[in-house]
Structure 1
Amino acid sequence: MTIERPWLQHYPAGVPSEIDVDEFPSITAVLQSAIDNFGDRPAFSNLGKTLTYHEIDTLSRQFAGYLLGELKLKKGDRVAIMMPNCLQYPIATFGILRAGLTVVNVNPMYTVRELKHQLADSGASVILVLDNFGDTVQKTLVDTPVRQVIATGLGDMLGFPKGTIVNFVLKYVKKMVPDYDIPGAIRFRDALTLGRMHPLPEVSIATDDIAFLQYTGGTTGVAKGAMLTHRNMVANMQQAAAWIGNDLELGNETIITALPLYHIFALTANGLVFMKLGGHNYLITNPRDMPGFVKELKGVRFTAITGVNTLFNGLLNTPGFDQIDFSPLKLTLGGGMAVQRAVAERWKQTTGVTLVEAYGLTETSPAACINPMNLTDYNGAIGLPVPSTDACVKDEDGNMLPTGEVGELCIKGPQVMKGYWQRPEDTAKAIDADGWLHTGDMAKMDEDGFFYIVDRKKDMILVSGFNVYPNEVEDVIAMLPGVLEVAAVGIPDEKSGEVVKVVIVKKDQSLTAEQVKAHARENLTGYKQPRVVEFRKELPKTNVGKILRRELRDSPQS
């Protein structure tokens, strides 16, 4: 079936309708190109230490040598990484990929139950873990396929004496490193030393080989591993680079990577796109320490930053952020959750740069739609489908809906995953016979080809037969100056089936429920207005900062 592509008429100048998926046969080819072209330039910085592309080359080769030469891993074996952003992350990731193996990214905040599921499901035989989370791994190892643990301290790649001091402070002063004992575990630095004795052989990597098993859907049921191939990741890197690259200079960009690299957004947008451009990734280990984060930003001339709405909102509400020199800043990209108008407008006012909203999923590696970089103001859209990507809106019977009608957003393109790891039934539910990935997001398209997310199917609130979309309610409540954060959910009601409840974290402690309701009355039609206003000290979130609406629905006030 032919599909209309009105979005192509609204592409920014210089953005192609199609990308060259075959320019790089694998992620390792992208890395090699960056090493060849930008070898002496800074690649990654963290906690005051910088590694050049040549240094990443050497160290990742050593790690690959250890995995193949010492552990005798075979092509396609899975290696798990359980760390926040630190220099060991890119070294390990590129080492694993260069060895022809698959990276299993693990959220370091996982509980024993969650970690056990992911290790058992993925079949990972090796795990690299930061000491801070070593006790979780220790408690998890029984009944998993893991046969080698590699452990590392946050300071291990920082050199002497700084690295020693960092490790000492974390363990003995801040008490952030628990005691644990894993027989046979090896230190990361020792693994690199052993790897030197095993030069990296020529490893044949096919475009269809699985580069990453990215686990997703943990908040909606059992977590599933999205199989992201080298082709998927390279395609999405090419798509995003074609979209944003016209405004950027090769070898001269510095991006703030505060979102964790184990999250697909940072992995592709920051890790791969900026590697292709010879950019410098400045890794933030603990962005939740907002005062510390702002202090770090003051010392970096950064040209780009990515994040989620809660991260940008947190920065804007941290003293000193408005005193940073934003003159080098060219690009701010928001994704992972809806960007709120109030946050986007304040970001533009504070930094002088538009907060450009993008949309994607783990299953699309992740970018599917991005707003034009030359957008001057917040437009409420998730943007236009990126090059080589088709998007449409379908009804429940799988029929494409016309412009303006709300249905399920579906995506087709080279960035769409191979499927879910060892879950053919789930794969068949997600990707239909025509190759469309069903996102589970309710959306509509306007006549120019811009897509608008109305909401997640499961988050939709049904009030007396009327659909209420939490994003809309949240956007309105977020306009109140006294609101720091807000989430809207549906709660059962005898009369109307459901009513709207908003849960608010106050910025101004004098804010009252009546003020919130009065504001809602002015801005929302009757059935959309919150009947219940609840105040909390914080909202439940994933480690990446997405608000967990389900938890707000399921749990009483805490």
Structure 2
Amino acid sequence: MSDTVPGLVRRAATEFGDAAACSMDGQTVSYAELHDQVRRTAAAFHKRGMRGGRVVLWAPNSIEWIVAALAVTYAGGTLVPANSRYTAHEVADIVDRTGAALVIVADGFLGRTQIDDLRALTTSAPILDLADIGILAAVADELDLATVEALADAVTPDDIADILFTSGTSGRPKGVLSAHRQTVAAAAAWSAVGEVSSADRYLVISPFFHSYGYKVGVLVGLMHGCTLHPMATFDADAALALIEAERITMVPGAPAIFLGLLESPAFATTDTSSLRFANTGAANVPVALVERLQTELSFDLVITAFGMTECVVATMCRRGDSDETVATTCGRAIDGMETAIADPETGEHLPAGQEGELLLRGSQVMLGYLDDPAATDEAIDADGWLHTGDVGVLDDRGYLRITDRLKDMYICGGFNVYPAEVEQALVRLDGVVDVAVIGIPDERLGEVGKAFVVRRDGGPDADAVIAFARERLANFKVPREVVFVDSLPRNLSGKVLKTELRSTS
């Protein structure tokens, strides 16, 4: 099996040929057709100055996204997916920091004007509308195609395949560097546990800009020849209709996705008997939900897992694990990975049953952060252990249970939110003196943001704070509640005591 993305594209075309690679909105593309579209698009990118550089792709799930993303690496470039919900301010920052040679945008998604908004903020790279890529690719001639085939030949497993951005505790998103061998290995490890085959029909709800949508979605399809059915945005009724009509077999997603399916009025009349494999994950998945996935949604194999952008797949449950194990743990280390629990203060590794910081080591751990050696050294120690910032426990079987977070991150609707990033945005609002953001429970989204704001006399009201955030941050990062306080509780070193803020919420 190839250990580069271009190698997977070629192999899929040869091995799976006329089998459906992806189907969406009435359009179906075979693996042979996908390969042809990818190489023609790669030729178009190369002629427009990509030249092996980094390409930012800002778009929702679509067949066009798959073609454009694969074309970037086929032409020897590095894929930089941007969150489709990001504002132009956030994407402009990514474009500038990566020195992007090209930016591809799905203009008009959610009724917005992404291209105009982005052009007003950055001129550092040419911007192409994703809708126009097919027209550009269609004119590729034999010389163009020969050029990109040579570029694909030159890609090695150790070249950088992609840079996925994730926020850090400093508040500014960090670019996570992954080599082709790591990106391919993530797909291989996950699909081995999931027992994926060419007979599967895979409903991809996870966004492609996320590692679970791209590496454990698109690349899994290429690897095994199953058919992908992407969704641009999740809608429970639409998902159920697809499950019945397309005889879907695989659905990975956050617990909220499955609850949405089970609680939909359409569920009672939907045939879900084709389903066989569900993958979910969270600090704690209710045992009752695991049981409902097996009995009501007909899944034969229900697996929980743990991963992060810096280490896409670290642990997974396995077939035969009890419902309680699946619900209360994140499984054990996959092949090629090690787990350990360390004392957060001393770094000493702790025995089974003791709580501490989760450390990960092995083939899935990132190469490092983009242009940030200090943050890389802080995250990955001299022995190669990735310090996750999550608190957990390993039992005597090596199964992981996440119990807390060292970082202040919270998860809103399946997306990680780092309060420091939100705080840095809000403190730029005139009249705001100080801000602290925490995550609070929400029945629908899991957690949402609550902002504690210190303001000057005559400063903004709550609506103005939220409106300011909406202009600069993706919707899932925008606080849902604003509380004005005279001061923020701090310790002697000046650190905000968020435990005190949580105790009042």
Question: Normalising TM by the smaller chain, what interval?
Answer: 0.7 to 0.9
Q: 2:308 aligns with which of 358, 361, 364?
A: 361
Structure 2 CA distance for aligned equivalents of residues 90 and 398 of structure 1? 42
Q: 1:265·1:335 contact (CA, 8 Å) conserved in 2?
A: no
Structure 1 CA distance for aligned equivalents of residues 179 and 364 of structure 2? 9
Structure 1, unaligned stretches of length 5 or more?
1-22, 154-186, 461-469, 472-486, 490-499, 508-539
Q: 2:105·2:114 contact (CA, 8 Å) conserved in 1?
A: no
Identify the residue that residue 207 of structure 1 maps to in structure 2: 157
Q: Deviations over 1:389-447 (max 9, x none)?
A: 11101112211011000111111111111100101111111111111111111011001
> CA offset at residue 376 of structure 1?
4.5
> CA offset at residue 260 of structure 1?
0.9
Q: 1:309·1:337 contact (CA, 8 Å) conserved in 2?
A: no
Identify the residue that residue 463 of structure 2 maps to in structure 1: none
1:268 lines up with 2:215 in the alignment: yes
Q: 1:383·1:450 contact (CA, 8 Å) conserved in 2?
A: yes
> CA offset at residue 211 of structure 1?
0.8
Q: Aligned with 2:22: secondary structure?
A: strand
Identify the residue that residue 309 of structure 1 maps to in structure 2: 255
Q: 1:336·1:360 contact (CA, 8 Å) conserved in 2?
A: no
Q: Aligned with 2:171: secondary structure?
A: coil
1:505 lines up with 2:443 in the alignment: yes
Structure 2 CA distance for aligned equivalents of residues 50 and 119 of structure 1? 32
Q: 2:89·2:121 contact (CA, 8 Å) conserved in 1?
A: no
Identify the residue that residue 57 of structure 1 maps to in structure 2: 35
Structure 2 CA distance for aligned equivalents of residues 87 and 94 of structure 1? 11
Identify the residue that residue 117 of structure 2 maps to in structure 1: 139
Letter in 1 for 2:342: K
1:66-145 to structure 2, matched below 5 A, reads 66-68=44-46, 70-75=47-52, 77-133=53-109, 135-142=113-120, 144=122
Identify the residue that residue 388 of structure 1 maps to in structure 2: 336
Q: 1:228 aligns with which of 161, 169, 178?
A: 178
Q: Deviations over 1:126-178 (max 9, x none)?
A: 1111121462332223563643221134xxxxxxxxxxxxxxxxxxxxxxxxx
Q: Deviations over 1:48-80 (max 9, x none)?
A: 211000010110011101111x213222x0111
Identify the residue that residue 452 of structure 2 maps to in structure 1: none
Q: 1:41·1:52 contact (CA, 8 Å) conserved in 2?
A: yes
The two structures, once aligned, show a CA RMSD in angstroms of 3.1
Q: Aligned with 1:44: secondary structure?
A: strand
Q: 1:318 aligns with which of 253, 264, 267?
A: 264
Letter in 2 for 1:360: G
Q: 2:41·2:134 contact (CA, 8 Å) conserved in 1?
A: no
Q: TM-score, normalised by structure 2?
A: 0.78
Q: Deviations over 1:353-402 (max 9, x none)?
A: 253211100011x1100011333414200001000111101112211011
> CA offset at residue 459 of structure 1?
4.5
1:315-354 to structure 2, matched below 5 A, reads 315-335=261-281, 338-353=284-299, 354=301
Structure 2, unaligned stretches of length 5 or more?
412-416, 420-437, 446-468, 485-503
Q: 2:85·2:475 contact (CA, 8 Å) conserved in 1?
A: no
Identify the residue that residue 172 of structure 1 maps to in structure 2: none
Structure 2 CA distance for aligned equivalents of residues 555 and 61 of structure 1? 53
> CA offset at residue 220 of structure 1?
6.2
Q: Aligned with 1:59: secondary structure?
A: helix
The alignment-based identity, stated in percent, is 26
Identify the residue that residue 441 of structure 1 maps to in structure 2: 390
Q: Aligned with 1:224: secondary structure?
A: strand
Identify the residue that residue 159 of structure 1 maps to in structure 2: none
Q: 1:254·1:303 contact (CA, 8 Å) conserved in 2?
A: yes
1:34 lines up with 2:12 in the alignment: yes
Could you list the runs of 4 or more consecutive aligned residues of structure 1 that deviate by over 6 angstroms after TM superposition?
Answer: 545-548
> CA offset at residue 352 of structure 1?
2.8
> CA offset at residue 345 of structure 1?
3.2
Identify the residue that residue 372 of structure 2 maps to in structure 1: 423
Structure 1 CA distance for aligned equivalents of residues 169 and 288 of structure 2? 27
Structure 2 CA distance for aligned equivalents of residues 547 and 450 of structure 1? 31
Structure 1 CA distance for aligned equivalents of residues 331 and 178 of structure 2? 23
Q: TM-score, normalised by structure 1?
A: 0.71
> CA offset at residue 243 of structure 1?
2.2
Identify the residue that residue 244 of structure 1 maps to in structure 2: 194
Q: Aligned with 1:51: secondary structure?
A: strand
Q: 1:41·1:53 contact (CA, 8 Å) conserved in 2?
A: yes
Letter in 2 for 1:234: V
Q: Aligned with 1:63: secondary structure?
A: helix
Change (3 A) 1:546 1:240: farther
